[in-house]
Amino acid sequence: MINKLDAKGLICPEPIMLLHKAINEAKHGDKIEVFATDPTTERDVEKFCNFLGHILLEKKIEDKEFYYLVEKRDKNIINTNLEN
């Protein structure tokens, strides 16, 4: 499932707080599209994913707008597919 998160016009820490809420409500493997205008998200989304073990699948920056595609990873699920 893909969820859309519109964080345009919000400033730090609101976009990451909304992403955190969306991740908590998502299931393992769900994807979240994040649309933002705050340049700090470029750093924060990547750090959020690295710290919590989620996957940043895509990042695009165009005309001061930021797009991220994040896949939720649940630490409690064992990955039997060695290619991921």
| Stated length of the chain | 84
b/e code 11-41 from CB counts within 10 Å (16+ = b) = eeeebbebbeebbeebeeebbbbbebebeeb
10, 12, 52, 69: which one is catalytic?
Answer: 12
Does the active-site annotation cover 12? yes
First-to-last alpha carbon distance for the chain, in angstroms, is 18
Residues with catalytic annotation? 12
